Amino acid sequence: MLRTMTAILAFGALATPAMANEPVALGEIAYGPELIEHAEDFGERELDRLAGYLRTALERELAGELGEGGYTLNVTILDAQPNRPTMAQMGGTRALHSSSISIGGADVEAELVDLDGQVIETYSYGWRSMNISDVVGYAQWTDARRTFARFADQVSDSLDERAGSGS
């Protein structure tokens, strides 16, 4: 089955020092305005769950590069849509059931900053299911988690390239 992915990986234009020996710390995971608007609908705890899923994906992909005293990766979840209703959504006024399905996904961006706070590189990634029939059998945040895993993989690949190229 062919899926269409939208990914944008923007590289900073500034010449930067090699990252081969520079660890990367994960900064706070922030929420974009669109996601904050949805927080009341999803439930506040869902934002923490999403941040946890994203942090786990980044920690898994960046395991060999994590540490303090080097660069910091500041990440923002711009927006996310669940594949199945959250508890808050089911408890609301709409007639939703846990078996209800929808097209899910997420949009994420990040900045890699040095010790002086200068942005070294930026990353942006977004993905949504293309067809409602594809989400049958999915859990609540399956597509958002898939987006986070792909985003983390791209960040890791970019950092590996940077360390290998010396720039």
Tell which CATH architecture fits domain 21-165: 2-Layer Sandwich (3.30)
Q: How many CB atoms lie within 10 A of CB 20?
A: 10
- Dihedral through CA 75, CA 78, CA 79, CA 80, nearest 10? -10
The full set of domain ranges for the chain reads: 21-165
pLDDT of residue 135: 67
Radius of gyration of the chain (CA): 17
Mean pLDDT of 59-84: 92
pLDDT averaged over the chain? 81
Helix (H) or strand (E) holding 39: helix 33-42
Q: Which residue has the higher pLDDT, 88 or 65?
A: 65
pLDDT digits (tens, 9 = 90+) for 123-140: 999 999 888 877 666 888
Identify the pLDDT of residue 14: 35
Q: What is the pLDDT of residue 158?
A: 92
DSSP type of residue 66: B
Query: pLDDT value at position 7?
Result: 35
Residues 6 or more apart whose CB falls under 8 angstroms from that of 23 comprise: 65, 66, 67, 68, 69, 70, 71
Residue 133, pLDDT score = 78
Does the pLDDT value for residue 20 go beyond 90?
Answer: no
Residue of 68 and 85 predicted with greater confidence: 68
